[in-house]
Amino acid sequence: MRRWFRRSTSRNNGNRDKGNSGQGNGSKEKRDAKTEIEIKKNEIKKWNKEGGIMMKAKKLFAVILTGITAAGLLAGCGSAAGSQTQSTSGTEASTTEEAQSTSGTETSTAEAAQSTSDTEASTTEEAQSGKVLVVYYSATGNTGEVAGYIADAMDGDLFEVEPAEPYTDEDLNWTDDNSRVTREHEDESLRNVELVSTTVEDWDSYDTVFIGYPIWWGIAAWPMDTFVEANDFTGKTVIPFCTSASSGLGESGELLAELAGTGDWLEGERFRSGADEGDVQEWVEGLGL
Ligand SMILES: Cc1cc2nc3c(=O)[nH]c(=O)nc-3n(C[C@H](O)[C@H](O)[C@H](O)COP(=O)(O)O)c2cc1C
């Protein structure tokens, strides 16, 4: 307003200068003065009017501004409310995610528990079933038959010990002083018999191992020595059995246990050559395995 007023004054001054520059006539000066007063009044009225308009404009502007501010505030509130709603929604989402996460953890825990349960069940099943292996050496077939009976009775697996150089009938002629078996009997250093294999597939999975052999001069046929020495019987129950013409088990089992150095060796059983399957089954059932 002040700036507008100054401009008006300046213009009035201009008029006044104009009036002062002239005529020196008294009535004219009065008229001019009167006119100037009128003009000034009109100017004042005009400025007042303008001022009023401006005031009205200001008021209107103020009202509009207030309205805009109010609207802005309302919008702000709305936005804040929206934000709060979003925030709440976000919190809910977060809570839901947490719940899902918790649920996932619970599922994971449940799965882990299930897995543990499965492992325990599996371990229990293995402990209850107890895989059985029947290892045997048989020069003329008698011990092999008994081994087959045991495997059938125990639902076990068979592993045949085979010398890399199989024994022929001449080799087995114990009445011949020069036969292979006689020479090996007389010279213990010759009993180190090489085998086709001493490795049993899934050896660690067997809990019970039957060890079968024929009796040679009162002890276990020595091809079995090589197998026993080559394997670890730790944690296994070992049950020796043999076939013979007349001799008993003797110390054959104990000697093999000494050679092995590991495993829980039981007393074992001797069967006659050409043993009856029923006798073998009866013995197996009597073991209580
Ligand atoms: C070299 C040799 C030594 C043997 N020594 C004995 C013995 O000391 N006592 C016995 O009762 N039978 C003896 N036998 C007989 C076998 O032990 C018997 O025939 C056994 O059932 C053979 O088993 P296999 O058929 O599985 O080889 C001997 C047989 C051989 C070949």
What is the Å distance from ligand 1's center to 85 Cα? 95
What is the Å distance from ligand 1's center to 267 Cα? 20
> Does ligand 1 come within 6 angstroms of the Cβ of 215?
yes
| Residue 272 clears pLDDT 90, i.e. is over it | yes
**How many other C-beta atoms can be found within 10 angstroms of the C-beta atom of residue 146?**
28
pLDDT exceeding 70 applies to what percent of the chain?
55
Atom number of ligand 1 nearest to Cα 137: 26
Q: Please tell me the predicted confidence (pLDDT) of residue 226.
A: 98
**Candidate from 51-60, 103-112, 123-132, 207-216 with smallest mean pLDDT:** 51-60
Q: Please tell me the predicted confidence (pLDDT) of residue 123.
A: 41
**Candidate from 11-25, 132-146, 160-174, 179-193 with smallest mean pLDDT:** 11-25
Contact 87, 94 (CB under 8 A): no
C-alpha–C-alpha distance, residues 241 and 134, integer Å = 10
User: How far is the first Cα of the chain from the last one, in angstroms, to the nearest whole number?
Assistant: 117
Residue 114's pLDDT band (boundaries 50, 70, 90)? Answer: low
Give the residue from 92, 118, 99, 96 showing the smallest Cα distance to 107. Answer: 99
Q: Please tell me the predicted confidence (pLDDT) of residue 129.
A: 55
Q: Please tell me the predicted confidence (pLDDT) of residue 59.
A: 44
Residue 246's pLDDT band (boundaries 50, 70, 90)? Answer: very high
The tens digit of pLDDT for each residue in 6-43 reads 222 333 333 333 333 333 444 555 556 555 555 444 54
Return the best residue to mutate from 145, 172, 213, 244 for the ligand 1 pocket (most ligand atoms within 8 A of CB).
244
| Residue 254 clears pLDDT 80, i.e. is over it | yes
| Residue 208 clears pLDDT 80, i.e. is over it | yes
Q: Please tell me the predicted confidence (pLDDT) of residue 113.
A: 46
Q: Please tell me the predicted confidence (pLDDT) of residue 130.
A: 84
> Does ligand 1 come within 6 angstroms of the Cβ of 216?
yes
The tens digit of pLDDT for each residue in 52-106 reads 344 344 444 444 444 454 444 444 434 433 333 333 333 343 434 443 444 444 4
Mean pLDDT of 144-171: 98
> Does ligand 1 come within 6 angstroms of the Cβ of 5?
no
| Residue 239 clears pLDDT 70, i.e. is over it | yes
**3-state SS record for 179-218:** CHHHHHHHCHHHHCCCECCCCCCCHHHEEEEEEEEEEECC
What is the Å distance from ligand 1's center to 140 Cα? 9
> Does ligand 1 come within 6 angstroms of the Cβ of 181?
yes
Q: Please tell me the predicted confidence (pLDDT) of residue 29.
A: 55
**Candidate from 86-95, 110-119, 271-280 with smallest mean pLDDT:** 86-95
DSSP codes of every residue in the chain: -HHHHHHHHHHHHHHHHHHHTS---HHHHHHHHHHHHHHHHHHHHHHHHHHHHHHHHHHHHHHHHHHHHHHHHHHHHHHHHHHHHHHHHHHHHHHHHHHHHHHHHHHHHHHHHHHHHHHHHHHHHHHHH-EEEEEE--SSSHHHHHHHHHHHHHT-EEEE--BSSPPPTTTT-TT-TTSHHHHHHH-GGGG---BS--PPTTGGGEEEEEEEEEEETTEE-THHHHHHHHS--TT-EEEEEEEESS---TTHHHHHHHHH--SEE---EEEETT--HHHHHHHHHHTT-
Average pLDDT across the chain, whole number: 73
Token duo for residue 25: 């006539």
Q: Please tell me the predicted confidence (pLDDT) of residue 111.
A: 54
> Does ligand 1 come within 6 angstroms of the Cβ of 273?
yes
User: Residue 30: is it exposed, middle or buried by C-beta count within 10 angstroms (0-12/13-18/19+)?
Assistant: exposed
What is the Å distance from ligand 1's center to 214 Cα? 5
Is the pLDDT higher at 274 or at 50? 274
Phi, psi of 188 (to 5 degrees): -60, -25
Atom number of ligand 1 nearest to Cα 181: 1
Contact 12, 43 (CB under 8 A): yes
Q: Please tell me the predicted confidence (pLDDT) of residue 280.
A: 98
Mean pLDDT of 120-134: 61
Residue 156 φ/ψ region, left for φ over 0, alpha for ψ in the -120 to 50 degree band, beta for the rest = beta
